[in-house]
């Protein structure tokens, strides 16, 4: 009787190696970008980290920049201010364009009353602990129509004053001053041409160029470390102040209910 051939062993299933290799490659890329973006490209690092986490974990991940942008857009739509507030994102962070005519009275740095609630709602997010280590750069821009008044000899003073007014508004809303930078650019950086080929003014474009531009930027890792240290120190000082107030208020209360025995 012929012998039966020995059963052939099935080759091992090595399909898992492709997924494992992908994960290792992504992790290597993650650490390379960690070193590359540590000091100067935090938003790009956030986007890369979210993409890697989604690929490895299988669940959608949202970067801090995208999360803040989504929340600001929700506020703008809820306040029905989407026609005068534009929210976008570039490689550096979040860009918020505020229509100058809607937010300021003509030829002045005085905020309109209708603009205050919109700014306040956005400020409520920027003061939250998860966003407190973001820099806020405020830029003032005008159209090319010259201005000369008692307070503003030119568009340079007007644009700078409007930017400073927005910064002061948020500082008054308990956002920390060290986060802010305010600058005026007059009519040197128009979004669209102020005039046509014949040199005639384009009213709609001029209105677009009259704007305040807020840039929300993640601090560098070094800045974030100093920022968190500042908040930790402030929290310690606040606790110490509360304990001092409690101890001082306690001195006014009777120390004991025990009746003192009179001398014999």
Q: Would you say 186 and 159 are in contact if contact means Cβ atoms under 8 Å apart?
A: yes
* pTM of the predicted protein model: 0.71
**CATH number of 63-195+208-236, picked from 3.30.310.220, 3.40.50.300, 3.30.1330.60, 3.40.50.150:** 3.30.1330.60
Task: Check residue 30 and give its pLDDT.
Answer: 72
Q: What's the CA gap between 54 and 52, in Å, rounded?
A: 5
More confident residue, 58 or 173: 173
Q: Which range among 58-67, 106-115, 250-259 has the greatest average pLDDT?
A: 106-115
Domain regions of the chain by residue span: 63-195+208-236
Judge residue 167's burial from the number of C-beta atoms within 10 Å of its C-beta, 0-12 exposed, 13-18 middle, 19 or more buried. Answer: buried
Cα separation values, 189 from 95, 140, 142, 158, Å: 15, 10, 9, 15
Read off the pLDDT band of 140 (50, 70, 90).
Answer: very high
Q: Inform me whether the pLDDT recorded for 240 exceeds 80.
A: no
Read off the pLDDT band of 47 (50, 70, 90).
Answer: low
Chain-centroid distance of CA 229 in Å reads 19
Lowest-confidence segment of 66-75, 144-153, 215-224, 234-243 by average pLDDT: 234-243
Task: Check residue 235 and give its pLDDT.
Answer: 76
Q: Would you say 122 and 72 are in contact if contact means Cβ atoms under 8 Å apart?
A: yes
Considering the chain, what percentage of its residues have pLDDT values greater than 70? Answer: 74
Q: 3-class secondary structure for 211-233?
A: EEEEEEEECCHHHHHHHHHHHHH
Q: What's the CA gap between 120 and 123, in Å, rounded?
A: 5
Task: Check residue 225 and give its pLDDT.
Answer: 87
Please write the tens of the pLDDT for every residue from 104-129.
999 999 999 999 999 999 999 999 99
41 contact partners, CB below 8 Å, separation of at least 6: 91
146 contact partners, CB below 8 Å, separation of at least 6: 154, 155
């Amino acid at each position: 009787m012929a012998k039966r051939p020995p059963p052939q062993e099935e080759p091992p299933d090595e399909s898992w190696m492709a997924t494992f290799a992908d994960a290792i490659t992504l992790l290597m890329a993650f650490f390379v970008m960690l070193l590359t973006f540590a000091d100067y490209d935090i938003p790009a690092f956030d986007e890369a980290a979210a993409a890697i986490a989604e690929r490895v974990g299988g669940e959608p991940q949202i970067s801090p920049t995208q999360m803040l942008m989504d929340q600001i857009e929700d506020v703008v739509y809820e306040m029905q201010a989407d026609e005068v507030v534009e929210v976008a994102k570039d490689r550096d962070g979040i860009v918020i364009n505020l229509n100058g005519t809607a937010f300021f009275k003509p030829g002045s740095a005085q905020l309109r009353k209708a603009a205050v609630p919109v700014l306040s709602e956005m400020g409520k997010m920027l003061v939250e602990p998860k966003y407190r280590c973001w820099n806020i750069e405020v830029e003032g821009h005008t159209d090319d129509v010259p201005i000369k008044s008692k307070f503003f000899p030119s568009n340079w003073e007007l644009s700078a004053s409007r930017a400073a007014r927005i910064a002061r508004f948020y500082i008054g809303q308990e956002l920390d001053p060290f986060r802010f930078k305010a600058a005026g650019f007059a009519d040197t950086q128009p979004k669209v041409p102020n005039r046509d080929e014949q040199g005639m003014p384009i009213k709609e474009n001029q209105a677009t160029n009259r704007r305040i531009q807020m840039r929300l930027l993640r601090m560098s890792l070094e800045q974030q470390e100093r920022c968190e240290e500042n908040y930790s120190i402030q929290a310690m000082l606040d606790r110490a102040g509360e304990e001092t107030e409690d101890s001082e208020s306690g001195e006014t209360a009777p120390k004991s209910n025990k009746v003192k025995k009179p001398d014999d």
